[in-house]
Structure 1
Amino acid sequence: MKYTELDTPSLIINKEIMMNNIKFMQEHANKYGVSLRPHTKTHKMPRLAKIQEECGAKGIAVAKVGEAEVMAQNGINDIFIANEIVGESKIQRIRKLSETINISFGVDSPEQIEVIEKVFEGASKKAQVLVEIEVGEERSGIIEEKDFEILLTCIKDCKNVHFKGIFSHDGHSYAAESIEACKDLYEISVKRTLGFAKIAEELGCKAEVVSIGSTPSLMHDFGIMEGVTEIRPGTYILMDASQGNAIGSYERCAATVLTTVISRPTSERVITDVGAKGITAQTRNRGICATRGLGYIKDYNEVYIHDVYDEHTIIYNKEFRDTVRIGYKVEIIPNHICPVCNLYDKAYLVSNGEVLEELNIECRGQLK
């Protein structure tokens, strides 16, 4: 069927654009001789994760244990949980996963290590941990060298925990004021990460994995420094309005939300049948990823979403209002695709206007 015949709202993925994005990032990794481990929290779909692996990805990254469990159930057997995992129940679930797949996860405190050591007592394999390094995003991760040394000492004293490496995320690059500023932030972040890798080696704990990355910095060829072993972008596969702004084009945006015009109550106002529950109310207000409005109407010049209610999109644009009629379907490029995917049970893979496949979003709602 034609994808425009789908009921709305529906999440649409253009196959050709998606595949070009996958190949683009894989070629970038290959160029510098590093592994690509896509962060699948963007799409939450095992089917797409398998395609990424088939195109050369080493494995995948996820954000939560629940996502790792679903991905493993669907045949993915090399998974990194790029997050601090806290709590005995979650560590128990990781221990169970480690019996059948290669799984590693993030740490940044000795308190975590104490619980991991206890839970993995008697396990057939040691817990595989990577220490997160905070590189400027002001989120989680090690900041001070002394704390890093204390954490490594704690890991070295364990018999059930293996130090696999370090990872970082230059998420603050989203707010860089220019491409040059993005490059500077990226290089500072990578140098800081490699500095901690050197400290680890000096302490007798050589990192097998040094994992970096975010989509804005890796969509531009800033190079990859020697010592990095892995890149971990996520959004690149589908892109969105914010990432499109970062590269100066929406041509790489593979995902859209198909929506129907349901009202034209004034000479300028148009209402469609998707709201915050289908596209979110997210914006980015700084830097190269800054967005206008709450989403961009594809194929209509300079038409943005003015506001959203739970189930309504509000657009003010006289030319757009005069063009569309009740029942017309249009596509929205979301500002941030990652939470949008988590709002749908399925997506539709399309090519040349035809629906090729329904994609179940199996990791939807896996927040634990």
Structure 2
Amino acid sequence: MNYFELDTPALLIDKEIMMDNLHSMQNYANQYNVQLRPHTKTHKMPKLARLQEELGSAGITVAKVGEAEVMANNGLKNIFIANEIVGKSKVERIRKLAETIDISFGIDNTYQVNQIEEVFEGAEKRAQVLVEIEVGEQRSGIIEENDFRTLLEAVKACKNVEFIGVFSHDGHSYKAQNIDECKELYLESVNRTLHFAKLAEEMGLKPKVVSIGSTPPFMLNFEIPNGVTEIRPGTYIFMDSSQANVIGTYDRCAATVLTTIISKPTKERVITDVGAKGITAQTRSIGHTATKGLGRIKEFDDVHIHGVFDEHAIIYNESFSNQVTIGDKVRIIPNHICPVCNLYEKAYLISEGEVVEEIAVDCRAKLQ
């Protein structure tokens, strides 16, 4: 069927654009001889994760243990949880996963190390951990060198925990004002990550993995310095309005939300049937990812969602209103695609306007 026949709201994925994005990022990783480990929190779809591996990725990244479990149950065998794991029940679930797949996860404190050591007592394989390095995002991760050394000494004293590398996420590059500043932040982040990798080597724990993340620098084809072993972009598979602003085109946005116009109360106000529960209320307000409104209407120039209620999107644009009628369907390019995918049970893969496949969002709501 044509995608306009779908009931709304509906999550659409343009197959040709998505495949081009996938090939482009894999070629970029190959160019710099690093492994691609895509972050699947963007799409949360095991089918697409398997496709990414088929095209050359070394494994996948997830954000939560629940996502790892779903991916493992769907045939993914090499998974990194790019997050600190706290809580014996979660570590026990990782231990169980480690019996059948290669799984690693993040740490940044001796509390976590002690808990992992206890839970993995008697396990066939040691827990595989990477230390997160805080590189400017002001989120989790090691900041001080002394804390890093203390953490690695704690790992060295363990019999059930194995240090395999370091990782970082330069999420603050999203707030760069322009490409030059983005490159500066990216290089500072990579160099800081490599510095801590060197410190680990000096302590007799040479990292097998030096992993860096964030989509904008890779979409801008920045050079990947020697010493980095893998990259973890996520949004690149679909892109969104904020990422499109980085590269200056919406042509690589593969994911949209199909919505129906349900009301035109005034000459300029248009209401559609998707709200915060279908496109979120997220925006970006700083730097080159800054977006206008709460989503961009794909078929029209400079038409954006002005606001949302739970189930309504509000557009104020008289010219747009004059071009559409109640019952028409339009597509919205979300500001941030990752949380949007988490709101849908399935996505529709489309090619040349036709629905060619339904894809289950199996990792939806796996927050634990």
TM bracket, shorter-chain basis: over 0.9
Q: Number of aligned residue pairs: give it.
A: 368
Counterpart residue number, 1:36: 36
Counterpart residue number, 2:107: 107
Give how far 1:154 is off: 0.3
For 1:10, give the aligned amino acid: A
Secondary structure at the counterpart of residue 29 of structure 1: helix
Counterpart residue number, 1:309: 309
Taking the TM superposition and a 5 Å limit, the aligned residue runs for 1:131-150 are 131-150=131-150
For 2:346, give the aligned amino acid: K
Secondary structure at the counterpart of residue 13 of structure 2: strand
Counterpart residue number, 1:72: 72
Percent identity, please: 69
Alignment deviations for residues 209-233 of structure 1 (CA, whole Å, 9 cap, x no partner)? 0000200111011100000000000
Cα RMSD of the aligned pairs, angstroms, is 0.4
Secondary structure at the counterpart of residue 256 of structure 1: strand
Distance 2:187 2:268 in 1: 46
Q: TM-score, normalised by structure 1?
A: 1.00
Secondary structure at the counterpart of residue 193 of structure 1: helix
Taking the TM superposition and a 5 Å limit, the aligned residue runs for 1:278-289 are 278-289=278-289
Taking the TM superposition and a 5 Å limit, the aligned residue runs for 1:144-163 are 144-163=144-163
Distance 1:326 1:132 in 2: 51
Distance 2:220 2:367 in 1: 31
Give how far 1:299 is off: 1.8
Distance 2:149 2:5 in 1: 59
Distance 1:129 1:323 in 2: 56
Taking the TM superposition and a 5 Å limit, the aligned residue runs for 1:135-284 are 135-284=135-284
Gaps of 5+ in 2: none
Distance 2:185 2:233 in 1: 16
Secondary structure at the counterpart of residue 82 of structure 1: strand
Alignment deviations for residues 239-266 of structure 1 (CA, whole Å, 9 cap, x no partner)? 0000001111100000000000001111
Alignment deviations for residues 316-351 of structure 1 (CA, whole Å, 9 cap, x no partner)? 111100000010000000000000000000000010
Distance 1:133 1:290 in 2: 26
Distance 2:306 2:189 in 1: 36
For 2:326, give the aligned amino acid: I
Gaps of 5+ in 1: none
Secondary structure at the counterpart of residue 61 of structure 2: strand
Secondary structure at the counterpart of residue 169 of structure 2: coil
Distance 1:116 1:83 in 2: 14
Which consecutive segments of 4 or more residues in structure 1 shift more than 3 A? Answer: none
Give how far 1:188 is off: 0.2
For 2:140, give the aligned amino acid: S
Q: TM-score, normalised by structure 2?
A: 1.00
Secondary structure at the counterpart of residue 283 of structure 1: coil
Distance 1:309 1:110 in 2: 44
For 1:236, give the aligned amino acid: Y
